Amino acid sequence: MLKNFLIVATLSGAVMASAQPAAAHFDTQSKVFRLDGGGTTYAFGVNARGELQQIYWGGHLAETDAIPWAVPMRAWASFDSSHTTTPEEYAGWGAGLFVEPALKITFADGNRDLVLHYESHTTIANGVDVVLKDIERKIYVTLHYTIDLQTGILARSATIENREAAPVTVEQAAAAAWALPPAHYTLNYLTGRWAGEWNLTEEPLRPGVRVIESRRGSTSHQANPWFAIQSGESSEEHGEVWFGALAWSGSWRITVEQDQLDAVRVTGGFNPFDFGYVLHPRERLETPVFYAGYSPDGLGGASRLLHSFELHNVLPRTAATASASTPKPRPVIYNSWEATEFNVDEAGQIALAEKAAALGVDRFVMDDGWFGQRKNDHAGLGDWYVNSQKFPHGLKPLIDRVHALGMDFGLWVEPEMVNPDSDLYRKHPDWALNFPGRPRSEERNQLVLNLARDDVRDYVLGFLDKLLNENDIAFLKWDYNRNWSEPGWDQLPAAEQKKVYVQFTRNLYSILAELRRKHPNVEIESCSGGGGRVDLGILRYTDEVWPSDNTDPFDRLTIQDGFTYAYTPQVMMAWVTDSPHWMNKRTTSLSYRMLSSMQGSLGIGANINHWTPEEMALAKRLIAAYHEVQPTIVQGELYRLISPRNGSEFSATQTVRADKGQSVVFAFIHSTQEGRGFPILKLKGLDSATQYAFTSIEGKAKPGTPAVASGAWWMNHGLEMDDAFRGDFQAVAFRLDRK
């Protein structure tokens, strides 16, 4: 089979003969495509009717294994014809299809029947482009497939082209559909709300459709575009898992469907709700990318593959790390928001910067309040000039002081928003998303600018570029503090106005790309009132995200646990803030707060003006200890040893450096009950034969273990915590280093 396909076309168009088996193969006899990468094989082919049909997705098959057409087109009765039960790779709505279509189109003459058949294909580096065409009309769909050779994660998207003489309206366009054969499965997805994001929601898959979506114009706190489907026997570290993540920061939808013959199909892409994209003759519509992968090692194995893929293939690089295989660990930041809120000024920020520098912080970030007439959240958004009452000499004196203290400087912006009380709105009221003559719903006293418009796009890019040209800014915290309402775009003909759902997000990405091109060392955080805009689309342009406005260290354990199912700790910013916590009124020790945040990319967001010398000394010591092991924590292999979910009294995580030479463990007690001690912690992922030395990080953990023991000992015997590790909101952390 392989001999048919040893010619590999590279992305640049060069064709090379490869002595190695290629990642993509096509068997001309059986018309089967096969993609191999990591531990995964994915196969699909052209069936007798000419449709593209999925055949296999799972553990890697031997290269000598032919993949025959063993999978018949499934049919049961006249009610369940093979048109609807065949797992098509990308089904048009037509010909008796009742399951979720990938593509639904209305033609100019009212015809809505679309039947896509295989037309041709071209191989590309580590993948293939397959062209489908309607059986009669000139609608062409190119399906793009690539597979990552390390993780086996597939990237799929589609380009839809209208070569008809008249316009057509695309009413529904998925990036991809993924299929699994009939079996018992559990679906996992991430849900939440403001200050309560990242709840892992698990449920058995049942006949019918589970819809995971955002209709809000952006990714949302309520649901995140990620799924994982476990086979019946699968758990955190064992069993088969199929998972995926959609790279789109606008309205999106993933449907997980079990059909009448118990087969499963996952379809994801633009949210079809209120969707309608007019394609004029020769125009094309590109869908987002839908990534998906397979792990035989449970949800833990799935998230380790995703983390590695994100680090190596998704996250952007700065000029300084352009050729590095992974981005740098994030600088430890100080952020002024919870200390000063809108009351920022030169003297106050400098005082905080001096304290932050004394802690060993790398980056000082000034949050909201520095621009326009921004005294509170009622005014100023849109007016991106420095407020001269708060900063009479501009930002330079503050930035110079921050640099002199050995830190770089970051700034908060919320570019896509406008307060009606702003010069920008008074000048351009038509720039806000709205339906003319209808009310404009404000949230947090603000409206959303219609970034889909070219003039708005140019304005936003222009002021950000100017800000970065005029000030030595290393980092932008890019916020987005509401969702859409009344998403009108009345500059376009009525039939075209729904393009806003695509063009807004495309312009957002193009602004981010252009800023990074012009300012190649600037780093950006995606924040949306916490974790409202976290997805693999925005993460191509942003270096980190703010997972939640909820900084309570105990709540954060669950938030961070949920977050890591889909996203790497590298991008998971985690601040230490004040106690009692502003939202939960919970009182916790500084050590507990620090250790909770040290599970991700550490930041300090407290009012450090009020910290005692003892607190300053403790934070300084722990920041230094964190710096030493940060690469292992944020880029190592993560094992969620004990989950904090479902009312657990305990939780623990472990990360292991890629070379297995170092490991870091965090363990937390919520509240000791009935005298129960911490369970024995059996570590994972170490090298059995290597000797590892134990060092406490926070300085109090003294487990009943030897100072040095083999990987086998830590993994098989495991470690018993000191009997004194009891109480409420307690935390310990330690590191193991190869001797």
- Shortest Å, Cβ 369 to ligand GLA: 8
- Shortest Å, Cβ 507 to ligand GLA: 22
Distances (CA, A) of 605 to 359, 426, 575: 12, 34, 5
The stretch among 152-160, 450-458, 486-494, 524-532 that binds ligand GLA (CB under 6 A) is: 524-532
Binding mask 107-146 for ligand GLA (x = CB under 6 A): ----------------------------------------
Q: Which residue of 142, 249, 450, 481 would you call a contact of ligand GLA, by CB under 6 A?
A: 481
**Segment 534-563, which members bind ligand GLA (CB under 6 A)?**
546, 549
Choice between 36 and 414, CB closer to ligand GLA: 414
The stretch among 15-23, 115-123, 147-155, 526-534 that binds ligand GLA (CB under 6 A) is: 526-534
Token reading at 228: 């994982």
Size of the site for ligand GLA (CB under 6 A): 11
- Indicate whether 479 belongs to the interface with ligand GLA (CB under 6 A): yes
Is 189 in contact with 209 (CB distance < 8 Å)?
Answer: no
- Shortest Å, Cβ 146 to ligand GLA: 34
Catalytically annotated residue among 549, 555, 561, 737: 549
- Shortest Å, Cβ 638 to ligand GLA: 25
* Among candidate residues 574, 601, 568, 581, the one with its CA nearest the CA of residue 729: 581
The stretch among 457-465, 508-516, 522-530, 588-596 that binds ligand GLA (CB under 6 A) is: 522-530
Binding mask 376-415 for ligand GLA (x = CB under 6 A): ------------------------------------x---
- Shortest Å, Cβ 531 to ligand GLA: 9
The stretch among 33-41, 104-112, 451-459, 527-535 that binds ligand GLA (CB under 6 A) is: 527-535
Question: Could you give the maximum distance between any two Cα atoms of the chain, in Å?
Answer: 79
- Shortest Å, Cβ 479 to ligand GLA: 5
Q: How far apart are CA 467 and CA 386, in angstroms?
A: 10
Choice between 331 and 530, CB closer to ligand GLA: 530
What are the two backbone dihedrals, phi and then psi, of residue 513, each rounded to the nearest 5 degrees?
-65, -40
Token reading at 444: 């947090």
Q: Is the backbone of residue 274 left (phi > 0), alpha (psi -120 to 50) or beta?
A: left
Q: How far apart are CA 405 and CA 60, in angstroms?
A: 53
Choice between 259 and 368, CB closer to ligand GLA: 368
Q: Which residue of 360, 529, 553, 603 would you call a contact of ligand GLA, by CB under 6 A?
A: 529
Token reading at 190: 């991430």
Choice between 546 and 565, CB closer to ligand GLA: 546
Question: Which is it for the CA torsion 317, 323, 325, 329, positive or negative?
Answer: negative
HSE-up of residue 389 (Cα within 13 Å, Cβ side): 7
Binding mask 347-376 for ligand GLA (x = CB under 6 A): --------------------xx--------
Q: Which residue of 337, 459, 650, 694 would you call a contact of ligand GLA, by CB under 6 A?
A: 337
Q: Is the backbone of residue 697 left (phi > 0), alpha (psi -120 to 50) or beta?
A: alpha
- Indicate whether 171 belongs to the interface with ligand GLA (CB under 6 A): no
- Shortest Å, Cβ 367 to ligand GLA: 5
Helix (H, G, I), strand (E, B) or coil at 84: helix
Helices 346-359 + 613-635 axis angle, to 10: 70
- Indicate whether 334 belongs to the interface with ligand GLA (CB under 6 A): no
Token reading at 32: 């089967």
- Shortest Å, Cβ 668 to ligand GLA: 24
CB-neighbour burial class of residue 317 (10 A; exposed 0-12, middle 13-18, buried 19+): middle
Q: Peptide bond preceding 580: is omega within 30 degrees of 0, i.e. cis?
A: yes
Binding mask 285-324 for ligand GLA (x = CB under 6 A): ----------------------------------------
The stretch among 287-295, 525-533, 637-645, 703-711 that binds ligand GLA (CB under 6 A) is: 525-533
Choice between 481 and 655, CB closer to ligand GLA: 481
HSE-up of residue 49 (Cα within 13 Å, Cβ side): 18
Helix (H, G, I), strand (E, B) or coil at 301: helix
Chain center to CA of 103: 25
Which regions of 38-164 does DSSP assign to beta strands (E)? 40-46, 52-59, 103-106, 116-124, 127-134, 139-147, 154-162
Q: How far apart are CA 523 and CA 337, in angstroms?
A: 19
Element (H, E) at 256: strand 252-258
> How does DSSP classify residue 106?
E
Catalytically annotated residue among 479, 535, 561, 737: 479
The stretch among 22-30, 71-79, 456-464, 523-531 that binds ligand GLA (CB under 6 A) is: 523-531
**SS3 letters across 584-626:** CCCCCCHHHHHHHHCCCEEEECCCHHHCCHHHHHHHHHHHHHH
Task: Supply the DSSP string of 493-512, one letter for each residue.
Answer: -GGGGGGHHHHHHHHHHHHH
Active site residue 367: no
Q: Which residue of 380, 410, 488, 530 would you call a contact of ligand GLA, by CB under 6 A?
A: 530
- Shortest Å, Cβ 482 to ligand GLA: 10
Q: Which residue of 114, 305, 527, 571 would you call a contact of ligand GLA, by CB under 6 A?
A: 527
Choice between 478 and 592, CB closer to ligand GLA: 478
In this structure, the dihedral spanned by the alpha carbons of residues 11, 543, 325 and 601, taken in order and rounded to 10 degrees, is: -150
Distances (CA, A) of 465 to 244, 321, 468, 514, 731: 35, 22, 5, 9, 44
For the CA atoms of the chain, what is the radius of gyration? 27
Residue nearest to ligand GLA (CB): 368
Is 353 in contact with 554 (CB distance < 8 Å)?
Answer: no
Distances (CA, A) of 238 to 188, 241, 299, 300: 15, 9, 8, 8
Active site residue 65: no
- Shortest Å, Cβ 521 to ligand GLA: 23
Choice between 337 and 678, CB closer to ligand GLA: 337
Choice between 107 and 371, CB closer to ligand GLA: 371
Element (H, E) at 175: strand 168-180
- Shortest Å, Cβ 605 to ligand GLA: 8
Q: How far apart are CA 650 and CA 641, in angstroms?
A: 10
User: β-pairing, 408-413 with 475-478?
Assistant: parallel
User: β-pairing, 573-576 with 544-545?
Assistant: unpaired
Choice between 365 and 623, CB closer to ligand GLA: 365
In this structure, the dihedral spanned by the alpha carbons of residues 509, 512, 513 and 516, taken in order and rounded to 10 degrees, is: -170
Binding mask 175-194 for ligand GLA (x = CB under 6 A): --------------------
Choice between 194 and 385, CB closer to ligand GLA: 194
- Shortest Å, Cβ 335 to ligand GLA: 7
- Shortest Å, Cβ 709 to ligand GLA: 43
Question: Which is it for the CA torsion 143, 146, 147, 153, positive or negative?
Answer: negative
Choice between 371 and 504, CB closer to ligand GLA: 371
Choice between 186 and 349, CB closer to ligand GLA: 349
Choice between 188 and 481, CB closer to ligand GLA: 481
- Residues carrying an active site annotation: 479, 549
Residues of this chain that bind ligand GLA (CB under 6 A): 337, 367-368, 412, 479, 481, 527, 529-530, 546, 549
